[in-house]
């Protein structure tokens, strides 16, 4: 069962990477550089989801707010 889950995670991660990578390339060609975040964040979330990783971020209040 674990091997099936691992293989599914590899396949889904590859598909998500191909899709979101393509979106990022097209975005970088035609849009502002900061819009690449629109493909990087969903890519990261979908790959983590496919691999069954739960991510808890603590201490975000310590980050400096940057206005662009």
- Whole-prediction pTM: 0.70
pLDDT, one tens digit for every residue, the chain (68 residues): 678 888 999 999 999 999 998 988 888 888 877 778 778 888 999 999 998 889 888 887 877 776 55
**pLDDT number for residue 13:** 93
Q: What is the DSSP letter of 65?
A: P
CA angle 29, 30, 32 (to 5 degrees): 95
**pLDDT number for residue 11:** 92
In total, the chain counts a number of residues equal to 68
**pLDDT number for residue 68:** 52
Q: CA 23 to CA 21: how far, in whole Å?
A: 5
- With residue 14 as reference, give the H or E element that holds it: helix 2-30
**pLDDT number for residue 67:** 58
């Amino acid at each position: 069962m674990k091997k099936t889950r691992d293989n599914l995670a590899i396949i889904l991660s590859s598909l998500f990477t191909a899709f979101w990578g393509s979106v990022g390339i097209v975005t970088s060609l035609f849009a502002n550089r900061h819009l690449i975040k629109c493909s990087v964040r969903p890519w990261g979330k979908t790959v983590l989801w496919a691999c069954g990783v739960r991510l808890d971020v603590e201490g975000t209040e310590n980050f400096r707010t940057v206005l662009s």
